[in-house]
Structure 1
Amino acid sequence: MKIIVTDEVAQEGLALLAQDPRVELDVKLGLKKEELLAIIGDYDVIITRSGTTVNRELLDAGKKLRLVARAGVGIDNVDVDYASSRGVIVVNAPFGNTNSAAEHAMALLLSFCRNVTRANGSLKSGEWKRAPFTGYELKGKTAGVIGLGKVGGRVATRLKAFECDVLACDPYIAVKRAHDLGVKLVSHDEIYKNCDIITVHTPLTDETRNMIGERELAMMKDGVIIVNAARGGIIEEAALLKYLESGKVAGAAVDVFSEEPPKSEYLKKLIGHERVVVTPHLGANTFEAQVNVAVDVSREILNYLDDQPLENAVNIPRFDLALMDQMRPFLNLMNTLCEFGIQLLDANISKIVFGFSGSIAHYDCTPLTVCGLASILNRMVDQDVNMVNASLIAEGMGIVVEESKTTHADAFSNLITIVVEGEGGKRRTISGTLFEGLPRIVRLRDYSMDFAPEEHMLLLHYADRPGMIGKIGTIMGQHEINIASMNLGRSEKKGEAMVILSLDSAVPPQVLEEVRAATDATFIKAIHMPGARCSRSCGCTA
């Protein structure tokens, strides 16, 4: 295997490749675009950092390329979709900087608590002042960790070592992992209300963008300390500045910003605030982290050579064509069920069962199971999940994954059922089938339903009694939200009813609360389905 290295990569990683007799390693730094295009056709693998753009032109020229290895976390310089279409695997090193990021979060927190940056500047200017720099101890403080993944888990461990009482919030982590770390899982609101220190360690997604804003900050204890060394945009920075200026927030330690480099006036004001410690996105910037990412991608290349699973592949080559012919009609259904079902979860997942009934059970359903698992996990973790690494990631999160098959089917020739189990025995069940090639959901929990998922939907449970549908329709009409269709299920007359509405537009939070109050709903959820199509995140090429 011929490998070209086009950017500076730590020698400790390259040494693993150099000592393998199957590898021919060429380090060619500083190549011009035309020079690289002229020679890339001779190589099976390219190792890059951020200095090389792996675009369509380069991928087309790399006729023999089988793998692109990005020695770092970001893959913005790689056209992953086009690489997938060419059957080229893309790997990165998302966890090589895990320890670096965790330590930096602690460094920021300690720097604020002990006034390190301010005291350093004062002393270097020739002053000798102590009183203005009286600090805070961590011992005995209640610390809240939002996001208990690899980085958040390490931060929680370190906070416990400083004798903090640690609460954690992560709806996608099994309770067992929290127990293993010795922390207590609580809700978001409990974190905000009870913690002296709050540190975030989640990916930036539609769910986490501006997750901590005006409402959450107002709920916090007076004198709270906030740390963000995860992603810019998780904390609403204008609101943070407001509560710093009011004194409710004692201070903040921030490494990441919604705009990098910061240009907005309010960001500059936040950065310049005397009670804010800041760094320019240095979480991964250690010598050790650079070695780790080099070692990680080199190991992935060797795993590829040895036909071993790739933990950090961000895409995957095509399935066997014969298998794809069998599975292709159901990949979209599986993704749709997962996209819908994941939005109904309100407990930490401990087990997922993928069930296949009818004719489909005659086939190997593993690709569907793993595609479904990847679809669920992609909304839960700060890592690209695909057909290769989904099972490994689920195992690391303490989630049990099972598959059940039966060729017997009652009402449908083919049926896919997903059962998600969580803390306290909570279960969520969703079943679907194909009707004229399009996904339809036919069961939610114990209710028989029959509807085609739409982009905007509203699901609610309430005690069945006259006038409920009218109340819901009236509220929607008052807010000019058109109801396209309605599906009703109920356990018995005047028992619990489940209603799913397909809408022409999204339901704002205030309207959601209005419907909840009018119906005394025991459960209500606005569902957003951007499209009932197979997500490329699962790794398939449908």
Structure 2
Amino acid sequence: MTKPKVLISDKMDPNAARIFTEMGCDVDVITGETPEQLIARIGQYDGLAIRSSTRVTKEVLDAATNLKVIGRAGIGVDNVDIPCASGKGVVVMNTPFGNSITTAEHAIALIFALARQIPEANTQTQAGLWPKNGFMGVEVTGKTLGLIGAGNIGSIVASRALGLRMKVVAFDPFLSPERAVELGVEKVELEQLLERADFITLHTPLTEQTRNILSRENLARTKKGVRIVNCARGGLVDEAALKEALDSGHVAGAALDVFETEPAKASPLFGTPNFICTPHLGASTTEAQVNVALQVAEQMADYLVNGGVTNALNMPSLSAEEAPKLKPYMALAEKLGSLVGQLTTGAVPRISIHTEGAAAELNARPIVAAVLAGFLRTQTDSVNMVNAPFLAKERGIEVREVKSEKEGDYHTLVRVSVKTADGERSVVGTLFANSEPRLVELFGIKVEAELAGHMMYIVNEDAPGFIGRIGTLLGENGINIGTFNLGRREAGGEAVLLLSVDSPVAAAVIEQARSLPGVKRVMALAF
């Protein structure tokens, strides 16, 4: 049998090539090629191992006629066209946890650098100035560290900070009270964190919910003299507003390892006193680079030789026999998970997945994993059906599975329920013609809708004239309605409207919709 052939196109630890060979693959290490050279070469390979330099574009994928798997040594896959890869049946893998300790340690290092003004003191001392009286630092012992994001990396930062005798408060919508106790941190809302923290570190992905989470307004709410560290993602901090806060002295110091635009050739922060920056070094340690290189080689070789799937971003863990039957159910499950995730705020200590009828006769694990992936993807990146159960457990989310083979109103049904501070909330879906996912119930209200593309979710009082008002509002803003799905508890009571639209709905339009008479809640959704 011909051995699978793998190309390593970026520099990585040489042991990666050894692992490929030992696990039964032929491997070539050819780095630094131009896109044109890669396109000319890629057709002969079954696997492509990359880091951040190689860009796997549609043009590369079109030429990769034999490619079966792409492995990214690291977490970020911005350099891979994942939708195109999925369409061509190419599995995309990453190593989401190989850099965790390294990135957490870099955040701690920057905390110390800010506390004692080490970079500037070093510069002046080497210039022969001996500025002993010019630098007055602060101790970290006894200070309050505010974590924005308490997932894998944030929890490691918390453990290190507690070892330094810091107090740790954490804001994370998915952090359960039980998990907070386990970590030894105090769970707080963002407003409390901003008011109390002496140091703030960010450990959250960049999503629509987290973009500019440290905005001008939120920076103004922080404690005077706060010090801020970001080793997570550029765009979490409003860089222009941060400069203003540093110049005014409200923020005593800031350290960024990531910028909104990278490489950061220019920034309003460059040259600002009490500002430290590094060129995205969070993952740059010998140990981390060895770890991710070895992990990606093991994952890719296992897939190519044995068919095993680990940390795949676009493929569930399925056998060949199960896949055709489960595929539409997984699509339904992921949409239901995404819907309830987008509509739920605050901590979710429990998710229940209830299958009825024909759905209850299938392997539940892929369905559960699809629900969790859809749910968690609304708040964090690099989630897939393989790592979603692990991430849910890490966040302290209890996952319940319930089966009922007896059919109800539908021959097959999937119900996703989440426990929140406001009680249990459920969304229910089925398959039309055994293949088309449909929502049939939303928070106890019967409503039939296809979950796809850009949508609006509106809760309003059931009263004459509302449909005309919302239609007029969207028309005036140039937004075309695709489908119109209504449901209500009772005549004159609470009603739900799900609209599919042809383009994203701007925040300004959402605010206008909220101001309409009788409207209780409006949200933009995306699937």
When normalised by structure 1's length, the TM-score is: 0.82
2-structure distance, mates of 1:324, 1:486: 34
Q: Which stretch of the first structure deviates more once superposed, 151-160 or 503-512?
A: 503-512
Aligned to 1:536: none
**CA apart distance, 1:325:** 4.9
- The answer as to whether partners of 2:360 and 2:404 remain within 8 angstroms in 1 is yes
Aligned to 2:367: 368
- The answer as to whether partners of 1:3 and 1:25 remain within 8 angstroms in 2 is yes
**Partner SS for 1:349:** coil
**CA apart distance, 1:317:** 7.6
Aligned to 1:196: 198
Aligned to 2:109: 107
Cα distance 1:477–1:195, how it changes in 2: closer, same or farther (>3 A)? farther
**CA apart distance, 1:31:** 5.6
Q: Which amino acid aligns with 2:298?
A: R
2-structure distance, mates of 1:179, 1:337: 30
Structure 2 residue aligned with 1:430, among 427, 431, 450? 427
**CA apart distance, 1:21:** 5.8
Aligned to 2:392: 394
**CA apart distance, 1:230:** 0.9
Q: Which stretch of the first structure deviates more once superposed, 7-16 or 30-39?
A: 30-39
1-structure distance, mates of 2:183, 2:396: 13
2-structure distance, mates of 1:416, 1:41: 42
Structure 1 residue aligned with 2:132, among 130, 133, 136? 130
Residues 1:489 and 2:489 aligned together: yes
Aligned to 1:500: 496
2-structure distance, mates of 1:82, 1:475: 40
Q: Cα deviations across residues 35-94 of structure 1 (Å, max 9, x unaligned)?
A: 666665554333233444444555455544332222233334433333323333222223
Cα distance 1:249–1:417, how it changes in 2: closer, same or farther (>3 A)? same
**Partner SS for 2:122:** helix
2-structure distance, mates of 1:513, 1:248: 34
- The answer as to whether partners of 1:14 and 1:294 remain within 8 angstroms in 2 is no
Q: Cα deviations across residues 417-469 of structure 1 (Å, max 9, x unaligned)?
A: 101125x69422112345688655443344445566684434458xx8xxx85
- The answer as to whether partners of 2:175 and 2:187 remain within 8 angstroms in 1 is no
**CA apart distance, 1:282:** 1.6
- The answer as to whether partners of 1:412 and 1:433 remain within 8 angstroms in 2 is yes
Q: Which amino acid aligns with 2:104?
A: A
- The answer as to whether partners of 1:459 and 1:498 remain within 8 angstroms in 2 is no
**Partner SS for 1:342:** helix
**Partner SS for 2:349:** strand
- The answer as to whether partners of 1:481 and 1:507 remain within 8 angstroms in 2 is no
Q: Cα deviations across residues 489-534 of structure 1 (Å, max 9, x unaligned)?
A: 26xx99xx5432446755647658767xx87x9xx54322234xxx
Aligned to 1:10: 13
- The answer as to whether partners of 1:4 and 1:46 remain within 8 angstroms in 2 is yes
Aligned to 1:139: 141
Cα distance 1:511–1:53, how it changes in 2: closer, same or farther (>3 A)? closer
Residues 1:281 and 2:284 aligned together: no
> What percent identity do the matched residue pairs reach?
35
**CA apart distance, 1:207:** 1.0
Q: Which amino acid aligns with 1:390?
A: A
1-structure distance, mates of 2:178, 2:309: 26
2-structure distance, mates of 1:479, 1:6: 51
- The answer as to whether partners of 1:172 and 1:349 remain within 8 angstroms in 2 is yes
Q: Cα deviations across residues 272-314 of structure 1 (Å, max 9, x unaligned)?
A: 1102111122212222221121122122135436748544222
Aligned to 2:92: 90
Cα distance 1:447–1:35, how it changes in 2: closer, same or farther (>3 A)? closer
Cα distance 1:219–1:38, how it changes in 2: closer, same or farther (>3 A)? closer
- The answer as to whether partners of 2:312 and 2:386 remain within 8 angstroms in 1 is yes
Q: Which stretch of the first structure deviates more once superposed, 233-242 or 450-459?
A: 450-459
Q: Which stretch of the first structure deviates more once superposed, 118-127 or 211-220?
A: 211-220
Aligned to 1:234: 236
**CA apart distance, 1:11:** 2.4
Structure 1 residue aligned with 2:82, among 77, 80, 83? 80
**CA apart distance, 1:145:** 0.2
Aligned to 2:215: 213
Aligned to 1:416: 414
**CA apart distance, 1:225:** 1.3
Cα distance 1:206–1:252, how it changes in 2: closer, same or farther (>3 A)? same
**CA apart distance, 1:125:** 1.0
Count of matched residue pairs: 511
User: Structure 2 regions of 5+ residues with no counterpart?
Assistant: none
Q: Cα deviations across residues 77-117 of structure 1 (Å, max 9, x unaligned)?
A: 43333332333322222322212211111111211110111
1-structure distance, mates of 2:34, 2:486: 60
Q: Which amino acid aligns with 1:529?
A: L
- The answer as to whether partners of 2:92 and 2:314 remain within 8 angstroms in 1 is yes
**Partner SS for 1:529:** strand
1-structure distance, mates of 2:343, 2:337: 10
Q: Which amino acid aligns with 1:386?
A: N
Structure 1 residue aligned with 2:525, among 511, 522, 529? 529
Structure 2 residue aligned with 1:407, among 391, 401, 405? 405
Cα distance 1:273–1:438, how it changes in 2: closer, same or farther (>3 A)? same
What's the Cα RMSD here?
Answer: 3.6
Cα distance 1:194–1:470, how it changes in 2: closer, same or farther (>3 A)? farther
When normalised by structure 2's length, the TM-score is: 0.84
- The answer as to whether partners of 1:453 and 1:529 remain within 8 angstroms in 2 is no
Show the 5 A alignment for 1:244-255. Answer: 244-255=246-257
Q: Which stretch of the first structure deviates more once superposed, 295-304 or 120-129?
A: 295-304
- The answer as to whether partners of 1:146 and 1:199 remain within 8 angstroms in 2 is yes
